[in-house]
Amino acid sequence: MAKKDQKTDMATEKDREKWMARFQVRLAMQPGVDRAVVLQAVKDVTGHCAVTGEHPRTAFGDPDAYAVQAAARLVPADRAARAKQHNAWVDALDSVQNRTGGLAGL
């Protein structure tokens, strides 16, 4: 029976790692998020889970949705707005470049 418990523990740990990896990637993709924000969010999640013994999915739900919530909580609104505006400009420039067919010299 100990062998079965060990396999279950390994599966749970692998699932926890997958949740954390997805959370970190999705968080990093949010406007205005930098390394410090990701580190703080990971610290918050791991600290909570260490104290309560909960799996991150149980405590925080879907990693994609929680990444959006964490970014909204940890990134100042003005920084997020500037990042969104910058991303819109970059997207517009990419669109123009794509429409021109990547003309030589551009």
Encode pLDDT of 76-101 as tens digits.
Answer: 766 656 666 665 665 666 676 677 67
Nearest 10 degrees: CA dihedral of 84, 36, 14, 47?
-120
Between 32 and 24, name the one with better pLDDT: 24
Closest by CA to 66, choosing from 37, 45, 82, is: 45
What pLDDT sits at residue 92? 66
Quick one: DSSP state of residue 75? S
Local confidence band at 51 (pLDDT 50, 70, 90 cut-offs): very high
